[in-house]
């Protein structure tokens, strides 16, 4: 796990070493153990290393082939790398390290990009062919590992985080045309980002750049719909799921440094803890966020399960000035706006974990793959969906529960396609209309394209369409959050539920495997879930919840920002200039529950702007 950065100048301009070092070391948190560089006239590669496999200096990067013609700059892990040893040895290759990076380099030399479907792991890498003057940039199937790129008149640049481009010399500017999508969907999808000129490499894609710094082609090397359609029929889904999940955890335990688990107390992370215990691993630790006195605190469950499995439990609480400091630090690390609002505390927990471990496993991805969110229930049953439509005609004053009020706002646009697009939203079209915002671009091309794909592969099932859409959109934002909050503490985060065998296989299964009854996640609940203690099985699904409304009003640092946020220059841009921020703050102080969703959105984005553009 590492940070990578590089550039390729146009017009044969020699690569300046100081510019590369500035890019590379802007991300030193991603790799504090070693730094390396490689230059080939107008091309520069930089690497920051977090040592996970083969801790010796011999495994430092960039990796250069014995012949000197091939160079690899790699971020991530190939969990099944050991499977390739016999094959490569039979072809005459010799190994100098026990690193997966060396295996990947040799595989690329032998097979080129044709080997990508055989790799089980997460990765973003740059592969340079010196003789051909050809550069290939590659990203993993689900976008777990980040890779950004930018082409200017000066040349091509790429990096693991946007901050590296600003260290390279690019001006830091907001892409105002993307603010509509950011505020409505909480994530800028596809190649776009919130920064002008900075592009995000699409999951499951690679780019080939040739001499003259020309983009020769972009290839979609992994297509979830096509792979799932081509999947052999799974005769016994439950037995297959349990076997594959256990193996996914086993692979992600491969490490030369200590491994822990980020444990919430919910089904997904508890399943990982069960798998580790069942597979016989020792010396493990669990890391849990505590919110004493908060009704949604699940730390007691995490502690009880850890003790039952004889795993070292570590629970931590983050409040007061420390929470404000973590929020600021997480913004600097993430670069882009924080739209899941848990980044600060997850960064804090990762910092605590770093004192003992360098790898953390997490349950991220299970909900998107197997329909685990409460909001998925809207499309889980056709009859229920039709009954819910009646909410549109009920006067709001008659609805006493906030969840029903939210559902009414969600369903106010009577268009199933648009409802799929906005299912992960916190705010809906009616909310923006109440604020006087009548015109927004709510149909981004990338989201529409993925939705059309989903309808092609699942023409008669809205729930399956929704899951397919979220695996290409909402999940990408969660992956970004997980990567930054853990790498910000120099920790590698691994997601067993995003093993491509699980994702592709589950996506290929018939509809009956996707019941949203109860907690949803039918496959998980009816396999590993049944082997968990009753207090885990029967506990209401909560998800990581933080009492931000209370913190905004009572934390001195946050309260000061709340009172002055109307002065933030962000609210002078695009449609945001039409918001009456002072009134929104006043309404929030009067009724924090009702006005919390809009306040949280405006608070965090203005706090982000203040932090990122302070200088």
Q: For 50-77, how does the pLDDT look when each residue is reduced to its tens digit (9 = 90+)?
A: 999 999 999 999 999 999 999 999 999 9
Query: Is residue 555 in a domain?
Result: no
- CB under 8 Å to 235, separation ≥6 — which residues? none
- Using alpha carbons, select from 251, 14, 20 the residue that is nearest to residue 120: 251
The token duo for 411 is: 């369903």
Distance between CA atoms of 524 and 502, rounded to whole angstroms? 11
Query: Is residue 552 in a domain?
Result: no
pLDDT at 297: 78
Considering the domain architecture, whether residues 288 and 154 belong to the same structural domain is answered as no
Distance between CA atoms of 523 and 538, rounded to whole angstroms? 16
Which conformational region is residue 190 in: left (phi greater than 0), alpha (psi within -120 to 50 degrees), or beta?
left
The answer to whether 27 and 47 are in contact (CB under 8 A) is: no
pLDDT at 615: 56
**pTM of the entire predicted model:** 0.96
Q: What share of the chain has pLDDT > 70, as a percent?
A: 98
Considering the domain architecture, whether residues 347 and 493 belong to the same structural domain is answered as yes
Instruction: Identify the DSSP state of 50.
Output: -
Query: Is residue 50 in a domain?
Result: yes
Number of domains into which the chain is organized: 3
- CB under 8 Å to 364, separation ≥6 — which residues? 268, 478, 479, 482, 493, 495, 497, 498
Q: What share of the chain has pLDDT > 90, as a percent?
A: 86
pLDDT at 146: 97
Per-residue pLDDT tens for 371-392? 999 999 999 988 999 999 989 8
Distance between CA atoms of 495 and 366, rounded to whole angstroms? 9
- Using alpha carbons, select from 314, 393, 415, 389 the residue that is nearest to residue 356: 314
pLDDT at 295: 67
Measuring CA to CA, how many Å separate 102 from each of 78, 111, 550, 555?
11, 14, 50, 49
The answer to whether 127 and 135 are in contact (CB under 8 A) is: yes
What average pLDDT does range 495-503 have in this prediction?
Answer: 98
At 511, the pLDDT band (50, 70, 90 cuts) reads very high
Distance between CA atoms of 351 and 370, rounded to whole angstroms? 30
Query: Is residue 574 in a domain?
Result: no
pLDDT at 542: 66
pLDDT exceeds cutoff 70 at 315: yes
pLDDT exceeds cutoff 90 at 140: yes
Q: What is the CATH number of the domain that holds 266?
A: 3.40.50.620
Considering the domain architecture, whether residues 386 and 318 belong to the same structural domain is answered as no
pLDDT exceeds cutoff 80 at 288: yes
Query: Is residue 242 in a domain?
Result: yes
- CB under 8 Å to 263, separation ≥6 — which residues? 269, 270, 273, 286, 287, 288, 302, 305, 306, 313
Considering the domain architecture, whether residues 7 and 83 belong to the same structural domain is answered as yes
pLDDT exceeds cutoff 60 at 224: yes
Distance between CA atoms of 166 and 340, rounded to whole angstroms? 24
Query: Is residue 556 in a domain?
Result: no
Considering the domain architecture, whether residues 386 and 492 belong to the same structural domain is answered as no
Q: Lowest-pLDDT range, 329-338, 438-447, 561-570?
A: 438-447
Measuring CA to CA, how many Å separate 538 from each of 139, 497, 525, 532, 607?
38, 21, 11, 10, 38
The token duo for 146 is: 């980040």
pLDDT exceeds cutoff 80 at 292: no
The answer to whether 100 and 80 are in contact (CB under 8 A) is: no
pLDDT at 458: 97
- Using alpha carbons, select from 295, 272, 266, 298 the residue that is nearest to residue 285: 272
Per-residue pLDDT tens for 540-560? 766 666 789 999 999 999 999
**Which of 170, 191, 222 is the endpoint of a domain?**
222
**Which of 199, 222, 245 is the endpoint of a domain?**
222
Per-residue pLDDT tens for 261-275? 999 989 999 999 999
Considering the domain architecture, whether residues 458 and 527 belong to the same structural domain is answered as no
- CB under 8 Å to 22, separation ≥6 — which residues? 167, 168
Considering the domain architecture, whether residues 80 and 162 belong to the same structural domain is answered as yes
The answer to whether 281 and 312 are in contact (CB under 8 A) is: no
What average pLDDT does range 201-222 have in this prediction?
Answer: 97
Instruction: Identify the DSSP state of 31.
Output: -
Per-residue pLDDT tens for 339-348? 888 999 999 9
Q: Which residue has the higher pLDDT, 425 or 438?
A: 425
Measuring CA to CA, how many Å separate 523 from each of 286, 406, 512?
24, 29, 10
- As to burial, measured by CB atoms within 10 angstroms (0-12 exposed, 13-18 middle, 19+ buried), residue 540 is exposed
User: By three-state DSSP, how is residue 91 classified?
Assistant: coil
Considering the domain architecture, whether residues 517 and 382 belong to the same structural domain is answered as no
- CB under 8 Å to 34, separation ≥6 — which residues? 47, 48, 49, 51, 57, 60
pLDDT at 324: 92
Per-residue pLDDT tens for 573-604? 989 999 999 999 999 999 998 899 999 999 99
Q: How do the residues of the chain divide into helix, strand and coil, expressed in percent and rounded to 5?
A: 50, 15, 35
Chain centre to alpha carbon of residue 75: 15
Considering the domain architecture, whether residues 43 and 173 belong to the same structural domain is answered as yes
* Angle of CA points 201, 224, 501, to nearest 5°: 105
Query: Is residue 203 in a domain?
Result: yes
- CB under 8 Å to 389, separation ≥6 — which residues? 411, 414
pLDDT at 518: 85
pLDDT exceeds cutoff 90 at 449: yes
At 438, the pLDDT band (50, 70, 90 cuts) reads confident
Considering the domain architecture, whether residues 42 and 109 belong to the same structural domain is answered as yes
Per-residue pLDDT tens for 141-167? 999 999 999 999 999 999 999 999 999
- Using alpha carbons, select from 352, 348, 346 the residue that is nearest to residue 325: 348
Considering the domain architecture, whether residues 289 and 263 belong to the same structural domain is answered as yes
The answer to whether 287 and 262 are in contact (CB under 8 A) is: yes
Considering the domain architecture, whether residues 235 and 364 belong to the same structural domain is answered as yes
What average pLDDT does range 519-547 have in this prediction?
Answer: 87
At 437, the pLDDT band (50, 70, 90 cuts) reads confident
Query: Is residue 572 in a domain?
Result: no
The token duo for 292 is: 């004493």
The answer to whether 289 and 345 are in contact (CB under 8 A) is: yes
Residue 447 is part of which domain span? 377-423+425-472
pLDDT at 544: 66
Q: What are phi and psi of 526, to 5 degrees?
A: -100, 10
pLDDT exceeds cutoff 60 at 614: yes
Q: What's the chain's average pLDDT?
A: 94
- Helix (H) or strand (E) holding 244, with range, is helix 237-251
**Which of 176, 204, 222 is the endpoint of a domain?**
222
pLDDT at 434: 85
Q: What is the CATH number of the domain that holds 21?
A: 3.60.20.10
């Amino acid at each position: 796990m590492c940070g990578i950065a590089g550039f390729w100048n146009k017009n044969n301009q020699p690569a300046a070493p100081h510019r590369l070092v500035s890019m590379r070391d802007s991300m030193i948190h991603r790799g504090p153990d070693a730094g390396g560089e490689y230059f080939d006239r107008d091309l520069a590669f930089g690497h920051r290393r977090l040592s996970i496999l083969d801790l010796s200096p011999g495994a430092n990067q960039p990796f250069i082939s014995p012949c000197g013609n091939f160079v690899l700059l790699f971020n991530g892990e190939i969990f099944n790398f050991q499977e390739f040893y016999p094959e490569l040895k039979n072809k005459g290759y010799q190994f100098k390290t026990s690193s997966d990076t060396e295996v990947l380099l040799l595989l690329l030399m032998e097979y080129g990009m044709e080997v990508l479907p055989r790799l089980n792991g997460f990765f973003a890498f740059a592969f340079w062919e010196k003789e051909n003057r050809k550069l290939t940039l590659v990203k993993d199937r689900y976008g777990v590992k980040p890779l950004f790129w930018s082409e200017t008149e000066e040349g091509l640049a790429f990096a693991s985080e946007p901050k590296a481009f600003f260290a390279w010399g690019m001006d830091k500017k907001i892409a105002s045309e993307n603010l509509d999508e950011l505020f409505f969907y909480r994530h800028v999808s596809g190649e776009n980002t919130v920064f002008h000129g900075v592009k995000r490499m699409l999951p499951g894609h690679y780019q080939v750049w040739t001499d003259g710094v020309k983009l020769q082609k972009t290839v979609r090397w992994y297509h979830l719909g096509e792979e799932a359609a081509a999947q052999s029929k799974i005769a016994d889904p439950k037995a297959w799921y349990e076997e594959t999940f256990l193996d996914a955890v086993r692979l992600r335990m491969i490490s030369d440094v200590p491994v822990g688990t980020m444990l919430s107390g919910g089904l997904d992370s508890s399943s990982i803890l069960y798998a580790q215990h069942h597979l016989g691993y020792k010396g493990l630790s669990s890391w849990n966020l505590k919110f004493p006195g908060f009704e949604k605190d699940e730390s007691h469950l995490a502690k009880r399960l850890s003790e039952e499995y004889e795993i070292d439990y570590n629970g931590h609480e983050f409040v007061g000035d420390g929470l404000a400091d973590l929020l600021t630090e997480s913004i600097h690390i993430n670069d882009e706006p924080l739209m899941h609002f848990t980044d600060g505390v997850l960064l804090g927990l990762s910092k605590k974990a770093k004192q003992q471990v360098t790898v953390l496993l997490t349950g991220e991805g299970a909900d998107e793959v197997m329909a685990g969110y409460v909001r998925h229930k809207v499309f889980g049953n056709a009859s229920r969906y039709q009954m819910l439509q009646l909410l549109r005609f009920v006067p709001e004053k008659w609805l006493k529960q906030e969840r029903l009020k939210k559902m009414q706002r969600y369903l106010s646009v009577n268009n199933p396609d648009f409802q799929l697009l906005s299912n992960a939203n916190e705010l809906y079209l009616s909310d923006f209309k109440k604020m006087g915002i009548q015109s927004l671009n709510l149909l981004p091309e990338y989201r529409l394209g993925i939705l059309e794909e989903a309808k092609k592969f699942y023409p008669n099932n809205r729930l399956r369409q929704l899951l397919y859409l979220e695996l290409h959109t909402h999940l990408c934002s969660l992956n970004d959050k997980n990567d930054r909050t853990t790498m910000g503490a120099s920790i590698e985060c691994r997601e067993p539920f995003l093993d491509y065998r699980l994702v592709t296989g589950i996506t290929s299964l018939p509809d009956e495997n996707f019941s949203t009854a109860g907690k949803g996640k039918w496959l998980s609940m009816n396999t590993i879930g049944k082997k968990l203690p009753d207090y885990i099985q029967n506990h209401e699904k909560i998800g990581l919840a933080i009492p931000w409304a209370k913190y905004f009003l009572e934390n001195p640092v946050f309260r000061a920002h709340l009172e002055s946020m109307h002065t933030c220059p962000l609210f002078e841009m695009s449609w945001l200039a039409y918001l009456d921020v002072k009134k929104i703050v006043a309404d929030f102080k009067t009724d924090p529950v009702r006005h919390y969703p809009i306040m949280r959105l405006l608070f965090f984005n203005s706090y982000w702007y203040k932090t990122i553009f302070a200088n």
